[in-house]
Chain A
Amino acid sequence: MSAYTLGMITELGHFALILAFLIACVQSVVPLVGAHKRWPGWMAVAEPAATAQFLLTAFSFGALMHAFIVSDFSLKLVVDNSHSAKPMLYKISGTWGNHEGSMLLWVLILALFGAMAAWFGGNLPPTLRARVLAVQSSIAVAFFAFILFTSNPFLRLVVPPFDGQDLNPLLQDPGLAFHPPFLYLGYVGLSICFSFAVAALIEGRVDAAWARWVRPWTLAAWIFLTIGIALGSWWAYYELGWGGFWFWDPVENASFMPWLLAAALLHSAIVVEKREALKSWTILLAILAFGFSLIGTFIVRSGLLTSVHAFANDPERGVFILMILVFFTGGALTLFAARAGAMQAKGVFGVVSRESALVANNILLAVAAFVVFVGTMWPLVAEMFFDRKLSVGPPFFNFAFTPFMILLGLILPLGAMMSWKRGKVTRTLQSLLPAFGLAVALAGLVWASQTGRSLMGPIGVFLGVWLVAGSVTDLLGRLGRSRNLSRLLRLPRADWGKLLAHSGMGITILGIAGLMAWQEEDIRVAQIGETFTVGQYELQLQNVEQIRGPNYFSTMGTVSLLRDGQEVALLHPEKRNYPVAQMPTTEAAIDYRFLRDVYVVIGDAQDNGGFVMRTYVKPLANWIWGGCIIMALGGALSLSDRRYRIAAGARKATTPVQGIPAE
């Protein structure tokens, strides 16, 4: 391909981005006016505009990706983040492995969700649809402007260099290649909930139908966030070299807060849908959930919290995002203050009821998110107002956050089985007695058999088993008196989704407790041929070789893992050096098993010819991410439930359905 055509595609991508920005401007104003004046022609602008905006942004993103694939080093972004010798997967993922490209992905997903709302929103009332699409597009306007004026990915170099500076080697990893897209799908998915909330405030009404439209979007966003966070955590586990899985880093917290609020929104929307109560709270949650996504973007992009230095380096971007954040969150909250009074609750329910349990769920999730928020922002607050430079790290969060999750886990099975309107605590307790007994028994067993007297393991086992067994009890309870197991498969998918999502949380808790309570660690200098013992395993360092990869050099060890004299696995821990980026990375070798991982890391060569070796036995490690995947699957099952397909599809389908109310 000639340099001329190469340049053309890139320029067209740049042009498409500018066009998309202009269309977004139109889409954010015209339908809004149309909805206000009841002019159908003006409202009808929204749908084709949303489609065009998406197609243009997709073309622009495609052009940028093309520049990365063919290594077009006339683009500054490609020079800074790519290299011709890099494997193809990472050339592609390099597109979003940097600030500018990832913002373009952000806005692409924003446009995609807007377009999907246009395509599948056929059964929305026309004014609501026009307003949702206009609000969605006004968010897009802000981010298009941000990209074009402060972070343009299509900037050219006058004299292109022969080769690029490579992507940060830590990011050259399959887990991390897909972590940002999932996370963005989650963050940005919440924008649709925000747009629905603001549109409902403008309309001045919220009803069961509104909740039924909003809930699938929230569910989808929550599923993507769950997967995105799990991928990031798993990546940290195997890549950073000591098997940590969560660090309470500001950047992680930025993704965790929207997740917690999305989980709360998911549950409060059920109450609006089924009982027409909690309306204004649900609206507020929808605004806050996306608000926290914006805060997350702000935290990550400005570098404000990780280092004041980075913020000073690029105040323009930070201030721009701060303005977007203040405008949208502040504007929506003002609108909320003015209009929320109009949202009258209809449903009446007793103090002991599913409704009350869901209120408790919302309180715990929202306060937990608040604790994370305060802890994340406190260093900034302390520095600005009290002139103290201090840190808020994992010890604080573990102490202040965990109790809320324990409480949530304790009440979850009870609340999930409580009747709507008016429940009976004793009856619910009775049916959960077997699950409770099982959880206590297993926790007791663990307590008796562990060596230390740590409470963490038994508490985690109790909660995990209680959640899984409680969820199974709940599903069996749906069968009614008949106990006819063949009916299980005919239960609504939402019931199965609930089972999986709640059990998934239990499994994740089991994994975290197991890993934190019973991990074994060994640090030593091992000579080649030496055998040493860690827990129930013996390890032998057989040899160490120097290997050359496509864009790195590697020191690779061969370690034989033995149990009772039998070889269980042959492991190859590596220490890599990426010469272009001038960065070393550790590639841990992990023997993944159902009940434990053995995690081996090789370090520097010692003067005496040995190598530093770190070995960990990590019980139940996989359960952490397995639980997340199960949670996400549960969400997906729920999302595929019949009533959403029907609510989203043609309105003619009125086939009679068996009278089992879905969850």
Chain B
Amino acid sequence: MRALLLSVMFGTLVGISASVGVFPSAALAVQPDEVLDDPMLEARARELSKGLRCLVCQNESIDESNAPLARDLRLLLRDRLVAGDSDSEAIAFIVERYGEFVLLRPTTGGWNWLLWAAGPLMLLAALGMGALYVRGRADAAAPREAGLSPDEQKRLQEILKE
């Protein structure tokens, strides 16, 4: 029954996203009955659940989602925290069951270092090329008059005058 429900939901979500490309589902997320009595523990649970993906939604965290599976995950996470798990232990517990797909913040392991380093590496490369270009312009000889015809020269002057 649940599998059927999930596939129906998934189908609807995919349908919307494919047709208009919006972020679906009206969320009510965390329900009052889930909230832990200990505010410190609850704050930790909220923070952690913002980094865990709702498996049946498009791109929502379990903190935002109102899907039944997200609720199960929120309760599971809270159970682990109440049982005394540290943050990383609780996350590891969930990753072990659901795979690294649940992590909204990907790990740095394996080839993932490339994902994390892509921005800084590209910035370095771009800065290097930019610096070379700027140096080149600073050292360049006085501009040569390229082949503008007299007519075009006149047009250009007209435009530049404005």
- A residues within 8 Å of B by Cβ? 97-99, 102, 168, 170-171, 176, 180, 207-209, 212, 232, 235-236, 239-242, 244, 247-252, 254, 276-277, 300-303, 306-307, 309-310, 313-314, 344-351, 355-356, 359-360, 362-363, 366-368, 370-371, 374-375, 378, 382, 385-386, 388-396, 399-401, 404, 523-525, 583-586, 601, 603-604, 612, 614, 642-643, 646-647, 651, 654, 656-657
Cβ of A399: which chain B residues have Cβ within 8 Å of it?
Answer: 105
Cβ of A98: which chain B residues have Cβ within 8 Å of it?
Answer: 19-20
With CB as the reference atom, state the residue of chain A lying closest to B110.
A386
Would you call B162 an interface residue if the criterion is a C-beta within 8 Å of the partner chain's C-beta atoms? yes
Whether A347 contacts B28 by the Cβ 8 Å rule is no
Whether A102 contacts B17 by the Cβ 8 Å rule is no
6 pairs of A and B residues whose beta carbons are closest in the complex = A393-B104, A395-B105, A300-B21, A371-B119, A346-B143, A303-B18
Interface residues in B, total, Cβ within 8 A? 71
Whether A389 contacts B105 by the Cβ 8 Å rule is no
In the bound complex, what is the Cα–Cα distance between A208 and B20 (angstroms)? Answer: 39
Within 8 A of A (CB), among B1-54: 10, 12-32, 35, 50-51, 53
Whether A396 contacts B26 by the Cβ 8 Å rule is no
Interface-central residue, A302, A351, A366, A651, by most chain B CB under 10 Å? A351
Known: A344-B146, A647-B159. A241 touches B14 (CB 8 A): no
Cβ of A102: which chain B residues have Cβ within 8 Å of it?
Answer: 19-20
With CB as the reference atom, state the residue of chain A lying closest to B127.
A363
- How far, in Å, is A107 (CB) from chain B's closest CB? 17
Whether A209 contacts B10 by the Cβ 8 Å rule is no
- How far, in Å, is A235 (CB) from chain B's closest CB? 8
Whether B14 contacts A309 by the Cβ 8 Å rule is yes
Whether A390 contacts B101 by the Cβ 8 Å rule is yes
Whether A241 contacts B28 by the Cβ 8 Å rule is yes
Whether A350 contacts B119 by the Cβ 8 Å rule is no
In the bound complex, what is the Cα–Cα distance between A388 and B99 (angstroms)? Answer: 9
Can you report 28 A-B residue pairs in the complex whose CB atoms are below 8 A from each other?
A99-B19, A170-B16, A170-B22, A176-B22, A240-B27, A241-B27, A242-B27, A249-B58, A276-B143, A300-B21, A310-B14, A310-B15, A346-B146, A347-B137, A347-B143, A348-B137, A371-B119, A391-B100, A391-B102, A392-B104, A392-B115, A393-B51, A393-B53, A395-B105, A586-B26, A586-B27, A612-B31, A647-B159
Would you call B83 an interface residue if the criterion is a C-beta within 8 Å of the partner chain's C-beta atoms? no
- How far, in Å, is B63 (CB) from chain A's closest CB? 9
Cβ of A97: which chain B residues have Cβ within 8 Å of it?
Answer: 19-20
- B residues within 8 Å of A by Cβ? 10, 12-32, 35, 50-51, 53, 58-61, 64, 99-107, 110-112, 115-116, 118-119, 122-123, 126-127, 130, 133-135, 137-138, 140-144, 146, 148, 155-156, 158-162
In the bound complex, what is the Cα–Cα distance between A59 and B145 (angstroms)? Answer: 49
Cβ of B140: which chain A residues have Cβ within 8 Å of it?
Answer: 345, 348
Whether A370 contacts B104 by the Cβ 8 Å rule is no
Q: Tally of A-B residue pairs with Cβ under 8 A?
A: 224
Candidates A249, A350, A525; contact of B23 at CB < 8 Å: A249
Candidates B50, B104, B148; contact of A396 at CB < 8 Å: B104
In the bound complex, what is the Cα–Cα distance between A356 and B162 (angstroms)? Answer: 25
- How far, in Å, is B23 (CB) from chain A's closest CB? 5
In the bound complex, what is the Cα–Cα distance between A250 and B160 (angstroms)? Answer: 43
Whether A392 contacts B106 by the Cβ 8 Å rule is yes
Cβ of A614: which chain B residues have Cβ within 8 Å of it?
Answer: 28-29
Known: A171-B22, A351-B135, A395-B51. A250 touches B14 (CB 8 A): no
Cβ of A168: which chain B residues have Cβ within 8 Å of it?
Answer: 16, 20, 24
In the bound complex, what is the Cα–Cα distance between A276 and B137 (angstroms)? Answer: 11
With CB as the reference atom, state the residue of chain A lying closest to B162.
A643
Candidates A359, A370, A375, A585; contact of B122 at CB < 8 Å: A370
In the bound complex, what is the Cα–Cα distance between A390 and B111 (angstroms)? Answer: 12
- How far, in Å, is B65 (CB) from chain A's closest CB? 10
Known: A390-B100, A603-B28. A306 touches B23 (CB 8 A): no
Interface-central residue, B51, B59, B110, B116, by most chain A CB under 10 Å? B59
Candidates A277, A601, A651; contact of B137 at CB < 8 Å: A277
- How far, in Å, is A517 (CB) from chain B's closest CB? 15
- How far, in Å, is A478 (CB) from chain B's closest CB? 18
With CB as the reference atom, state the residue of chain B lying closest to A603.
B28
Cβ of A366: which chain B residues have Cβ within 8 Å of it?
Answer: 126
In the bound complex, what is the Cα–Cα distance between A595 and B118 (angstroms)? Answer: 38
Whether A386 contacts B111 by the Cβ 8 Å rule is yes
Whether A314 contacts B22 by the Cβ 8 Å rule is no
Cβ of A525: which chain B residues have Cβ within 8 Å of it?
Answer: 32
- How far, in Å, is B143 (CB) from chain A's closest CB? 4
Known: A209-B156, A303-B14, A367-B122. A356 touches B134 (CB 8 A): yes
With CB as the reference atom, state the residue of chain B lying closest to A383.
B101
Whether B22 contacts A251 by the Cβ 8 Å rule is yes
Cβ of A647: which chain B residues have Cβ within 8 Å of it?
Answer: 159, 162
- How far, in Å, is A638 (CB) from chain B's closest CB? 15
Known: A351-B134, A388-B110, A612-B28. A212 touches B23 (CB 8 A): no
Whether A208 contacts B146 by the Cβ 8 Å rule is no
In the bound complex, what is the Cα–Cα distance between A584 and B135 (angstroms)? Answer: 60
Whether A390 contacts B17 by the Cβ 8 Å rule is no
With CB as the reference atom, state the residue of chain B lying closest to A302.
B18
Cβ of A344: which chain B residues have Cβ within 8 Å of it?
Answer: 146
Whether A657 contacts B161 by the Cβ 8 Å rule is yes
Candidates A209, A252, A371, A586; contact of B28 at CB < 8 Å: A586
With CB as the reference atom, state the residue of chain B lying closest to A251.
B21
- How far, in Å, is A127 (CB) from chain B's closest CB? 13
Cβ of A356: which chain B residues have Cβ within 8 Å of it?
Answer: 134
Whether B158 contacts A391 by the Cβ 8 Å rule is no
Cβ of A612: which chain B residues have Cβ within 8 Å of it?
Answer: 28, 31-32
Cβ of A370: which chain B residues have Cβ within 8 Å of it?
Answer: 118-119, 122
Candidates A209, A360, A389, A392; contact of B159 at CB < 8 Å: A209
Query: Other CB < 8 Å A-B pairs besides A347-B137, A523-B31, A612-B28, 17 of them?
Result: A207-B156, A209-B159, A240-B25, A241-B26, A241-B29, A248-B59, A251-B17, A300-B18, A313-B14, A355-B134, A363-B126, A388-B100, A392-B104, A392-B115, A586-B27, A612-B31, A643-B162
In the bound complex, what is the Cα–Cα distance between A394 and B60 (angstroms)? Answer: 9
Whether B116 contacts A400 by the Cβ 8 Å rule is yes
- How far, in Å, is A269 (CB) from chain B's closest CB? 15
In the bound complex, what is the Cα–Cα distance between A180 and B21 (angstroms)? Answer: 9
